[in-house]
Structure 1
Amino acid sequence: MDALQLLFSFLFILSSYYGVKAETRICNQNAFKLMGTDMGTLPFCDNKLPYNVRAKDLVDRMTLEEKVAQLGNKAIGVQRLNLPGYEWWSEALHGVSDVGPGTHFDKNVTAASSFPTVILTTASFNETLWKAIGQAVSDEARALFNLGLAGLTFWSPTINVARDPRWGRITETPGEDPFIVGRYAVNYVRGLQDVVGYEKTKDLNSRPLKVGACCKHFAAYDVDNWKGIDRYHFDAKVTERDMVETFLLPFEMCVKDGDVASVMCSYNRVNGIPTCADPRLLNQTIRQHWGLHGYIVADCDSIEVMIDGHKFLNDTPEEAVAQTLKAGKFHNLLHLLHRLDLDCGKYYPDYATLAVKKGKVTENTIDDSLKNLYIVLMRLGWFDGSPGHYSALGKNDVCSPQHLELSAEAAREGIVLLKNDNNILPLNFNGKQPKFAVVGPHANATIAMIGNYALKSGLACRYSTPVEAIGAYGNVVYAPGCLNVKCQSNNNISQAVQASAGVDATFLFVGLDLSIEAESLDRIDLNFPGWQQSLITQVANVSTNPVILVIFSAGGIDITFAKENPKISAILWAGYPGAEGGRAMADVIFGKYNPAGRLPITWYPADYVNKLPMTSMQLRPIPESGYPGRTYKFYNGSTIYPFGYGLSYTTFSYSIKSAPKLVTFDLGKLQQCKQITMLDGTQPQCPAILVQDSKCTERLNINVKVQNTGKRDGATVVFLYSVPPSNIAGAPIKRLVGFNRVFLRAGEAQVVKFTLNACKSFSIIGEDAYEVVPAGEHSIVVGDGSNPVSTQISFRFQ
């Protein structure tokens, strides 16, 4: 063990047993003295120099073999430079996880706070909450780093759009709307990364980071394993229009507005080219157009997938390594600085040296990748210590009472009330000690509530199970009815039916889990698995008092039978609510909390899957083939529940108090009108203008009055949609351009103010993938779906 490692080990022992906290600092004078080196002679440890200068000095001191050894997720370090090894791969999708090898737990810290999975947190439509969770997670990440249990780079969040309800990883995503996905990404990343006081550092390449986030998986990635077609072989055939409008937008927002430290490319190909070797996607888009301040990393073993799965260009390992380092064979000098910097895997460490010696890639290219990596580590304080003073964080900051309450609050805010016949909820037994039946495969859920990218052991700080939480309000008879969610036998259904007879209320906790929808596992249908529907129906039929159905899932389920069954009084969707999920659900059911969650995805009828294969990337409908389109923006069929749907224990009204009637754009002398395709074949004099040719300084102020017209206090989500002029071919039905979650006491009213960019909020993406603003009558629509209000805004060009 070298001197630096001895020093670190000593500090970690102090931290664990005596409460002394100390974060790793590479540029530590005492450590260098033990090595017999004067730190003052090393420019890479001179904190007065810019990071890029310091990183260059560090890399220039390495041999080729030493450089290559740092290019995998498990960088082995360079002992003669006092540079310890570093594991880049940690995960923090909805809490710090040990799925990545960069994080582990021990007997002193056995778990971290488990927040609801992303799809349920998104259902809150609360940007403040999204950022607060990121801040809490990064507090715990920094605490674990101080204790020697974690790194500083976390490959989260997942920001792929949930294009198809069958996708197994919907639980990780913020839903089907690219704008919402992007806003979630910005807020969560800011919560993870921002150091207070340094959010707007002038030079973003030197902006300090609390931890390093990563937006993944870039791009058009949403097929894992469907009917034998897997992500390691799938070629996503995507039009440029859909790419710009849907698949790239969240990543652009994450890089530009979130200033994320890294982007991860995906396993799949896009139009024939593996994303991790696509110079247009990696070079031109992420770095040149969006201006990434950080590094690009491959999803784990993606280079191996290029060779063995895609068999791309029949490359040898060293040829594939050269391609990804340069992001394509057909690069030019402008692209040399921009590439896939880090390999989650062993192909870079194993083959990059040979690739250089064979002349397939230059050593200078490797230098540039390493500089990107070390600049991020410098921004994280790995060399000098963080300006955020995070060394004070330790064991007591993991699983803190504040974080556990935040987890419960996130679940409460996200839970969606889908049905509430005769206002049966919230339940109130007026002081009586009621008797409840709690049945279903999720009635005693623990691990199922935390979804994926949780601790591999299944441990949590603590669990609040449904049966325990319901039991706090009455006497409980528990009978699961199914041994698991696959419910492959009906042998135990009779016990659940018997338990439900004669009780004051029956609670059915049903749905899906990671055995049905997960990474590497897509769904085939949109139904309850096995005998679950029979369980629900039989239990409801014998019940003479309220039946409350609670659904765990990420993707939607066709629950028409339950929605139309008068014996089922209420239905709630709880996503995967995290370790505090039991008490969160009970708080909603018994009225301690008024639900305000809204669905972040469309729930389709079961026959939707028969109308289009999961592998079709097209979003717009094709009437002649019966193709119905995807997401609320383009789907033209009936739904079980639409995007944005959700009920409350109170009622709200909306009115548009002020909005412009006319928006006029003064065209520049050299600005051209843009032709767009009209459904009736007509062509106005100036049908549209290019956004890229416009200054886009026009701001539209729209004031919406929302009033709680019921008798209970509660929150609502105010959605603001723009609707393009009719008669434009391929235009979306509507698109979300603003949202705001507001809390109102009974009878209270509030004016919600939206300020929109006239270009960005009212543009469409044309067939040629140009973003344009059409002339004509646009509309804005406000509301929660049940009682929308609208007004028109005329756009003219002169």
Structure 2
Amino acid sequence: MKTTPLSKTLAILLGLSMACTPVGAQTPPKLATAEVKPPYLDAQATAQARAVDIVSRMTLEEKAAQLQSGTPAIARLGVPAYDWWNEGLHGVARAGEATVFPQAIGLAATFDTSLMHDVADTIATEFRAKNLKARTASGGSTKRYEGLSVWSPNVNIFRDPRWGRGQETYGEDPFLTSRMGVSFIKGLQGDDPKHPKTAAVIKHFAVHSGPEADRHFDDIHPSKRDEVDTYLPAFYAGVTEARVEGLMCAYNAVNGVPACGYTPYLKDILKTQWGFKGHIVSDCAAVADFYLTTSHAYVKTPEEAVASAVKAGTDLICDFNGNKTFDPAVTVNAVKQGLMSEADLDAALIRMFEVRYRLGLLDAPGTGPYAAITAKDYDTPAQRELNLKTAEKSLVLLKNDGLLPLKAAPKRIAVIGPNANTAEALVGNYNGTPSKPITVYAGIKARFPDAEVTYIEGTGWVAPPLQDVPDSVLCVDAACTEKGLKFEEFKGPKLEGAVVATRTDKNAKFSWGRPTREERESSTRWSGYIKAEETGAHRFRFTGDDGYRVFIDDKLIADVWDIAWPTSDSDVQLEAGKTYKLRVEAVQRGTREDQKFQWSRPSAGGEKAVAAAKDADLIVFAAGLTSRLEGEEMRVAAPGFAGGDRTSLDLPAPQQKMIEQLHATGKPVVLVLMNGSAMSVNWADKNLPAIIEAWYPGGEGGRAIANLIAGDFSPAGRLPLTFYKSADQLPPFKDYSMNGRTYRYFTGEALYPFGYGLSYTIFAYGKPVLSAKSVKAGGSVKVTVSVTNSGQRDGDEVVQLYVKRAVTGAPVRALKGFQRISLKAGETKKVTFTVDAKAMSVVDVNGQRQVEAGAVELWIGGGQPEARKDLKPAAGTAATITVTGRKTIGAF
């Protein structure tokens, strides 16, 4: 065994530590009484000293294994196994029950940095609780989704609302994204830099925002202006202000080089200019993209790929699906072939082990500065109440003709729509599991206990509504003498090898419970017959996040093996009373606990919904999307969707038809939108009395929506992205130039502008007071304005500061400050902003910020000063600062 040279004393100690230790156990080597404790075993030594020492004791093969995200144990050194992969976008994800806060785009809509910090701090507590439970049970090791390295937040700019992953971001504005990102990172990591609560990982660096289908081979060539003005500011803030522990590089290439090997970003900007001292992890399979001919094909071999990434600054390789870069032997070969040095590998691992020491992951579970957190400190009543508060603050009232808040509780309420009674519409993607999810239907029932509340789905998201296939129509044999289906289970995801379990099931259903990582990979087959109850077109679906196929009479009618939504040609004509041969095949990886067989039948139209609406005093229609339609690299074959992205911003046609039918009843309709991206609801805006944007509002979402409708609070959420009238107003999706994009560079008329949101009360703004009306380039000015709640009820106002410069290359206007304040009816508060040199600057074509002479136009208000011609503008006030001289203040 070849190791890095050690001192004589350390060599003796290493020899003493070679006793066999069970894999995964955290048992450090025993020392003779007289021996000096080596640094890696000394809890009083610095994390860096411990990291340097322990890496020096590893063989090349051991080091190579530690370069992958799923690191094995090194028993002889007392190092437990650790998987770095963990997600905390809006709560502890993929680890069972947790507090599921509103999706990231909904968190951004709160425009509340203090709340954002509290949310992230709560998420960090829950991570600690989950990690403690896992480490205590395993003796120190943790599997995927059990660690304290949190691959969040996503601060990519939502430059185009068609991007399916835009829901994971804080919207289209770099300033808002920066402020919310900094608060989230600080909340996750805590106040002790030596002992972070968790290690946040900001992503995806950089210039990354779809299309999803092209992300593994797209090569982006951003202008210097767009880099500095749009794509990099939030990363800069996360690194320099929040001192984020980690950073994830992106899939796409930048200027011809894969992002995880692009030294101008990873070394020149990130480490040299910004002083980043943390670790860099690749997006999962991104390093494989270096050499795969179907991706970037930047190099020819896996060894070259690993070397290119590590030498550029990538410290950890996340991979999956059997790509060769996941094999530690590739890294060993890269060193032996001279493609990179062992010192390059050491430098990466020292950074990784340093953060493990600082997190306490190499010390005994339940010790250290967070020892007061117990394994039960997640999904508590107090945390759910914070979640409710957050959901309420995230809701944006888009339209209100006076219907809301309700003047009196209705006697009969019809709750209709594909998002009305499903937890799926609450959670978005990268989510945990709420223990007590409150849907819109459940929230309305609870808030209006004396009303007769009826729920009817009415329509599915993109097709007729789906219902569970009843046990009564499933048969083992063609004559239906025996009910049920034959079940077969296989180890692995490909229906290969010997059958490991067989039985007769009543239905095609699968429930995971709490699978281990090893138990997650399996595949199943149900076979038998199905007896149709109606004549006409039927569509089938097997719920869950994993793939499936459905065969009728041996004809493949739904091929969704790796597609998140059924194909458009999955309809099959069945005849009532006739029996058909059935086969359902599915893969299970444990990403959802329950999977079941569903169908849509010819009679499952909107007639029942319309009938219920006619009998109601109020209609609540919960419409929108789901993370099965918009999301990460999906194969969705439905009108208006492609690859997880959207091709249209309109509501899917079945939902639009349903809305029009409900409106035709003459009863008042409240449209509740639940989605992660902009919606072009032009018809609804013209015809319906009230529209609420609820995003994917989290586990308490139904309560929050019902409370808003009832008037328990005044809404104050604001749009963190532009709602366009149509996708036709946008440049091509693949064009990364910011020209014509977002409120800062869009010159058309939006349906609802960035920063927009209505209230149940009225706010008035006084005349602004400037600390100086004129300033030399490079100086700053304070602006103070009085804000009064002149309405009849208490409420929050989001005071927004916009800056406009009549300078070449300047945006139409740009957000440079915001504060969310609470005002009682009749109360006045003063709000002060500092307009500094950066706020007054404009980025030139060379990527330098210039403060030019001339007027700096300020707007301070509850939204932008200009809206649609027929939309009442936000209350606010204007002021002007005059700049004399000219000054370059640098890029960031």
| Number of the residue aligned with 1:303 | 287
Amino acid at match of 2:124: S
What displacement does 1:213 show? 0.5
Q: How does 1:190-205 map to 2 (within 5 A)?
A: 190-195=186-191, 198=192
Change (3 A) 1:522 1:3: farther
Q: Are the equivalent residues in 2 in contact too, given 1:235–1:270 (CA < 8 A)?
A: yes
| Number of the residue aligned with 1:529 | 652
- Which of 346, 351, 372 pairs up with 1:372? 351
Q: How does 1:587-598 map to 2 (within 5 A)?
A: 587-598=707-718
Q: How does 1:219-298 map to 2 (within 5 A)?
A: 219-225=206-212, 229-298=213-282
- Which of 406, 410, 420 pairs up with 1:427? 406
Q: Are the equivalent residues in 1 in contact too, given 2:92–2:126 (CA < 8 A)?
A: yes
What displacement does 1:34 show? 5.7
Amino acid at match of 1:374: F
Q: Which moved more, 1:580-589 or 1:389-398?
A: 389-398
- CA deviations on 1:566-607 (whole Å, 9 max, x unpaired) are xx2111000000011000100111011110000000001114
| Number of the residue aligned with 1:112 | 98
- CA deviations on 1:21-70 (whole Å, 9 max, x unpaired) are xxxxx6xxxx4466879884311222443332221111111111111110
Structure ranking higher in strand proportion: 2
| Number of the residue aligned with 1:681 | none
What displacement does 1:493 show? 1.4
- Which of 733, 744, 748 pairs up with 1:614? 733
1:409 aligns with 2:409: no
Between the aligned partners of 2:113 and 2:884, the Cα distance in structure 1 is 34
| Number of the residue aligned with 1:90 | 86
Q: How does 1:386-401 map to 2 (within 5 A)?
A: 389-401=369-381
Q: What residue ranges of structure 2 are gaps of 5+ in the alignment?
A: 1-17, 136-145, 466-601, 634-643, 864-873, 887-892
Between the aligned partners of 1:471 and 1:381, the Cα distance in structure 2 is 46
Helix, strand or coil: the match of 1:761?
A: helix
Change (3 A) 1:772 1:433: closer
Between the aligned partners of 1:408 and 1:381, the Cα distance in structure 2 is 32
What displacement does 1:433 show? 6.1
1:156 aligns with 2:136: no
How many residue pairs get aligned? The number is 693
1:130 aligns with 2:116: yes
Q: Which moved more, 1:437-446 or 1:339-348?
A: 339-348
| Number of the residue aligned with 2:128 | 142
Between the aligned partners of 1:557 and 1:400, the Cα distance in structure 2 is 34
Between the aligned partners of 2:183 and 2:268, the Cα distance in structure 1 is 25
Q: TM (normalized to structure 2)?
A: 0.75
- CA deviations on 1:247-280 (whole Å, 9 max, x unpaired) are 1111010111111000000000112211001111
| Number of the residue aligned with 2:673 | 551
Q: Are the equivalent residues in 2 in contact too, given 1:32–1:38 (CA < 8 A)?
A: no
Change (3 A) 1:418 1:38: farther
Kindly name which structure, 1 or 2, has the bigger radius of gyration based on alpha carbons.
2
Amino acid at match of 2:787: V
Helix, strand or coil: the match of 2:737?
A: coil
- CA deviations on 1:676-701 (whole Å, 9 max, x unpaired) are xxxxxxxxxxxxx7xxxxxx5x3421
Between the aligned partners of 1:161 and 1:3, the Cα distance in structure 2 is 52
Q: Are the equivalent residues in 1 in contact too, given 2:20–2:76 (CA < 8 A)?
A: no
What displacement does 1:451 show? 0.6
Segments of 4+ moved more than 2 angstroms: 2-9, 31-41, 45-54, 309-315, 382-389, 483-491, 660-665
Q: How does 1:505-516 map to 2 (within 5 A)?
A: 505-516=618-629
Change (3 A) 1:37 1:559: farther
Change (3 A) 1:560 1:84: same
What displacement does 1:91 show? 0.7
Q: Which moved more, 1:244-253 or 1:514-523?
A: 514-523
Between the aligned partners of 2:19 and 2:444, the Cα distance in structure 1 is 56
1:447 aligns with 2:424: yes
| Number of the residue aligned with 1:121 | 107
Percent same amino acid at aligned positions?
A: 37
| Number of the residue aligned with 1:770 | 848
Amino acid at match of 1:732: P
Change (3 A) 1:708 1:362: same
Q: Are the equivalent residues in 2 in contact too, given 1:710–1:747 (CA < 8 A)?
A: yes
Helix, strand or coil: the match of 2:697?
A: coil
- CA deviations on 1:145-174 (whole Å, 9 max, x unpaired) are 111162111111111000001000111100
Between the aligned partners of 1:706 and 1:188, the Cα distance in structure 2 is 28
Q: Are the equivalent residues in 2 in contact too, given 1:210–1:388 (CA < 8 A)?
A: no
Q: Are the equivalent residues in 2 in contact too, given 1:601–1:644 (CA < 8 A)?
A: yes
Amino acid at match of 2:325: Y
Q: Are the equivalent residues in 1 in contact too, given 2:63–2:349 (CA < 8 A)?
A: yes
- CA deviations on 1:181-221 (whole Å, 9 max, x unpaired) are 111111001000014xx36xxxxxxx221110100011111
Q: How does 1:282-681 map to 2 (within 5 A)?
A: 282-308=266-292, 309-327=294-312, 339-345=313-319, 347=325, 349-384=328-363, 389-421=369-401, 423-429=402-408, 434-455=411-432, 459-472=433-446, 473=448, 474-487=451-464, 491-520=604-633, 521-544=644-667, 546-565=668-687, 568-608=688-728, 611-620=730-739, 629-665=740-776
Change (3 A) 1:656 1:365: farther
Change (3 A) 1:51 1:33: closer
Q: How does 1:697-736 map to 2 (within 5 A)?
A: 698-724=779-805, 726=806, 728-736=807-815
What displacement does 1:734 show? 0.9
Between the aligned partners of 1:403 and 1:751, the Cα distance in structure 2 is 32
Change (3 A) 1:461 1:367: same
| Number of the residue aligned with 2:486 | none
What displacement does 1:711 show? 0.5
| Number of the residue aligned with 1:788 | 876
Amino acid at match of 1:563: D
Q: Are the equivalent residues in 2 in contact too, given 1:661–1:794 (CA < 8 A)?
A: no
Amino acid at match of 1:632: Y
- Which of 68, 72, 94 pairs up with 1:72? 68
Amino acid at match of 1:560: N
Structure ranking higher in helix proportion: 1
Between the aligned partners of 1:370 and 1:111, the Cα distance in structure 2 is 33
Q: Are the equivalent residues in 2 in contact too, given 1:502–1:543 (CA < 8 A)?
A: no
What displacement does 1:647 show? 0.3
Q: Are the equivalent residues in 2 in contact too, given 1:242–1:619 (CA < 8 A)?
A: yes
Amino acid at match of 1:756: V
Q: What residue ranges of structure 1 are gaps of 5+ in the alignment?
A: 10-25, 99-103, 105-109, 200-206, 328-338, 621-628, 666-688, 690-695
What displacement does 1:491 show? 4.9
| Number of the residue aligned with 2:870 | none
Amino acid at match of 1:710: G
- CA deviations on 1:257-304 (whole Å, 9 max, x unpaired) are 111000000000112211001111101111111111210000001111
Change (3 A) 1:375 1:39: farther
Amino acid at match of 1:483: G
| Number of the residue aligned with 2:201 | 214
Q: Are the equivalent residues in 2 in contact too, given 1:45–1:383 (CA < 8 A)?
A: no
Between the aligned partners of 2:427 and 2:34, the Cα distance in structure 1 is 49
Q: Which moved more, 1:296-305 or 1:433-442?
A: 433-442
What displacement does 1:779 show? 1.1
What displacement does 1:529 show? 1.1
What displacement does 1:417 show? 0.3
Q: How does 1:689-700 map to 2 (within 5 A)?
A: 698-700=779-781
